[in-house]
Amino acid sequence: MRGVIIRARKALKRKVVVVERNHPSAFSSVLVTSVLLILVGGVGLFLLFNLTVPTLGPRWLLFFLLTFLASGVALPFAYFINLRFPSNPPAPSSVLVREALFFGLYIDLVIWLQFGKVLNFAIAVFLLIGFGMIEFLLRWRERNRFSPGTSPE
């Protein structure tokens, strides 16, 4: 019992470094992920346009690869927007990827509606507002989630 008390006293004297889980990700990891997504999407679209005929399967592959490409392009912008306008708690890397994927899905929806010739400016703006509201509500939910053991501010 005495050994436990001595160890506890030594542990209290040591400096405790608390590492937060929700720290903003380093730009190098965002850049690597972004380049990887752009390469997969860009090379895939190049091969798709040059090696296939426009049937049903390649059209779905177009949307899939376009999601990769648009998400890769949007990922650094999402990083810098979250860096410029910080939130409490800071946005983890999963939020950055989700925001980039929302942009990729938005581009897919716009292209799909344009193929059907039903896209106009109002629909594009309403879709953008809808994705923005979804992201706002998700971030609001994350910010207000109860986590036991933390003190209220």
Token duo for residue 99: 């925001």
Let me know: does 79 contact 25? Beta carbons within 8 Å: yes
Domain coverage including residue 61:
14-143
Which of helix, strand or coil describes residue 102?
helix
**Looking at the domain assignment, is residue 9 inside a domain?**
no
Tokens coding 38: 């752009």
Provide the token pair at 143: 């910010």
Please indicate, yes or no, if residue 3 is contained in any of the structural domains: no
Residue 7 lies in a domain: no
Per the domain annotation, does 77 fall within a domain? yes
For the chain, where are the E strands, in sequence order? none
Q: Look at 4-18, 56-70, 78-92, 120-134 and tell me which has the smallest mean pLDDT.
A: 4-18
Band the pLDDT of 70: cuts 50, 70, 90.
very high
Domain-located, residue 5: no
| Amino acid (one-letter) located at 129 | I
End-to-end CA distance of the chain: 38
pLDDT in tens, 15-30: 444 444 445 568 889 9
Query: Does residue 148 have a pLDDT over 70?
Result: yes
Please answer whether residues 37 and 72 qualify as being in contact, where contact means their C-beta atoms are separated by less than 8 angstroms: yes
Predicted pLDDT at 117: 95
In a domain, 152, yes or no: no
Residue 62 lies in a domain: yes
CB 86 within 8 A of CB 72: no
Does 39 map to a domain? yes
At 59, the amino acid letter reads R
Count how many domains the chain has. 1
